[in-house]
Structure 1
């Protein structure tokens, strides 16, 4: 009887270890393991703003993109993943804000942890995203924003002022109205 109990306990331990390993694999693939924020808005006074790190990459259409090239203009950076339900929910609001603000604000998307760029491109096409997006499957570009964006807090949106400093942040879904107001205040 003792052997049966030990055998059952050993099997349960093995099954638990497998499911934990599967969850960890899903986390690495960006399919789970994200923490969606509650839409918490932080606005920083001009004297308290910290510089945004340099962000560079290649857009989905193959063009180089560098944050510092947009100094002198307000920039909205949205970190998203096609696998992220809150990202899908906020996409129409981001598109609406980008269209309303027009060329007065530079929008850039940072797609993170999508292992298949085709999925990310499909998301952009599905929602009619009019602004460029960078592909960051490993999260290296996102990690440059440590202290300003939590790596697991997807989606997060930053508003970067004309001097390249972070003026506002939304952790979680952003609405069009909030984003338009933050971008205008940063200008």
Structure 2
């Protein structure tokens, strides 16, 4: 089953009522609680919860096109055949800063294996985003998504204000896994490895025939 606890609208009232309706009880939802807190931190920190989607429970292919911070245009159609990691972030987000070194380490490890890594910057201008990349030595490109086009394309999986969120797309371009909040390095590594391994057995058997 899909974990839809965090699929809520932008307003605190909608978030709270949706969480209550989905839970079927009066239990507190941590994301909704943060949205209502009014503490001025401007992001909702996920709890690190991980949702892995079985192959037969994945939605359709993620479709969007957008410009990277360097001006290059990228169409998600080019992701097909690759495992793709999308990390939603912005420079002043403390959890984003915390996870950045681990994301870069995984980028260095898995890019030679055919994986793609993209950040999706939801708030910054190019100068601030570039300063973040220099500070944390991140080398993978990021989409400039202040207009929310990329976020909208995956809105069924990424709550509008829950930053950071990390998605792993399978080789068909479907969401195979999601991490809300700081991505634990070992967990994300396992999710990427699992997605890369999908289909290899079938491909090997086919090649032997």
* Alignment map for 1:67-82 (pairs within 5 Å): 67-82=76-91
* CA shift digits 1:90-113 (9 cap, x unpaired): 000100111111232100110002
Aligned equivalents of 1:177, 1:68: Cα separation in 2: 28
**Which of 184, 187, 192 is 1:183 aligned to?**
192
Q: Which 4+ runs in 1 deviate beyond 4 A?
A: none
- Structure 1 residue 52, shift from structure 2 partner: 4.4
Counterpart in the other structure of 1:110: 120
Cα gap change, 1:154 to 1:52, in 2 (>3 Å): farther
Unaligned runs of 5+ in 2: 1-37, 197-209
Unaligned runs of 5+ in 1: 1-26
| Structure of higher RCO (CA pairs closer than 8 Å, 6+ residues apart) | 1
Q: Does 1:42 align with 2:47?
A: no
* CA shift digits 1:18-68 (9 cap, x unpaired): xxxxxxxxx9xxx84310101100001000011243122121222111211
* Alignment map for 1:1-187 (pairs within 5 Å): 32-103=41-112, 104-114=114-124, 116-187=125-196
Tell me if the contact between 2:66 and 2:149 (Cα under 8 Å) persists in the aligned partners: no
RMSD across aligned C-alpha pairs, in angstroms? Answer: 1.6
Aligned equivalents of 2:41, 2:151: Cα separation in 1: 17
Greater percentage in strand: 1
Aligned equivalents of 1:165, 1:140: Cα separation in 2: 17
TM-score by length of 2: 0.71
